[in-house]
Homo-oligomer: A and B are copies of this chain.
Amino acid sequence: MEDVETRELRYFVAVAEELHFGRAADRLGIAQPPLSRAIRRLEHRLGVELLERTSHGSRLTPAGEVLLAEGRTALDAVAAAARRAQRAGPKACLVLAMKPGGDAGLLPAILAAYEQSPDALPVEFAFSIGDRGAMLRDGRADVGLLHHPQNDLSGLATEELVVERRVVALAESHPLAACDELRMADLSAEEIPRFPEAARPGTGPLVGDVGELMQLVALGRAVALVSESAALRPHRGVVYRPVLDATPATLVVAWAESSRSREVAAFVTAARRAASEEASGTS
């Protein structure tokens, strides 16, 4: 069987996402006829129909659904290979993906421990609020600090660091601020902001970063569930209250399984050490 080129996969993914050859061709920066031919050629080579063409758009066949899912991960893997090879050049570094403030206060200890490793590289930070898992999968980052179950960890290797209880950020003047502790049910009527990348749809206002989020909270226009360590950084006009029945967030160090280099392993070890020392120190 002839093998599939990444260009063909990118083309198919574009069509499968748009369900429209014209728009997909537009997005890919090519004309529609070559795109149609490329998809037909791909279907013929695989011996499977991928799309049901109707006169108003197209639909995915079961095989198309499979190729969309698997093709995305394959494209991620190819991109990861290229990016990680690039970074392994003379000015090698380790890219850490994390949410600003999403380190449960462990970052200094982790970095200190990592820098003492003989395999340590300079660490670059890739701050991102929403897509840290994707950054690990497609090679934009090498290791990440992310949260379970808030982040999708599939396809990643992980190690748990600490479990963080979740607290709610409220305006000082908010009625609920009078309570010492809350339950999720108490928040059902509140506006909970969302970041644009958030997978789960909601009704809250969209915010771009943590600063905007806290601004909204301080104004009393919204409330926000955050990790308990975030409450250590006070914000003017905002108070924090524990939420008893919120599912706790587990901070994990994550990495792509295909990149089990010494450098990544050293970072994971450093993170593990920092977390366990933190746990024994504060207990």
Contact = CB atoms under 8 A, between A and B. Distances in A.
Interface string A192-211: 00000000000000000000
Contacts of A34: none
B85 A155 contact: no
A80 B85 contact: no
Majority secondary structure, A binding face: helix
Nearest to A3: B6
Question: What class of interface size applies to chain A in its complex with B?
Answer: 35 or more
A66 B260 CA distance: 10
A77 B74 contact: yes
Contact of A80 (B70, B92, B157, B258): B70
Interface stretch (A47-55, A94-102, A245-253, A266-274): A47-55
Given A50-B85, A62-B92, A70-B259, 15 more contacts: A3-B6, A3-B10, A4-B79, A5-B7, A6-B78, A9-B78, A47-B86, A48-B88, A62-B89, A66-B81, A67-B85, A67-B88, A69-B259, A70-B77, A154-B260
Interface of A: 1, 3-7, 9-10, 46-50, 62-67, 69-71, 73-74, 76-82, 84-86, 88-89, 92, 139, 154-155, 157, 257-261
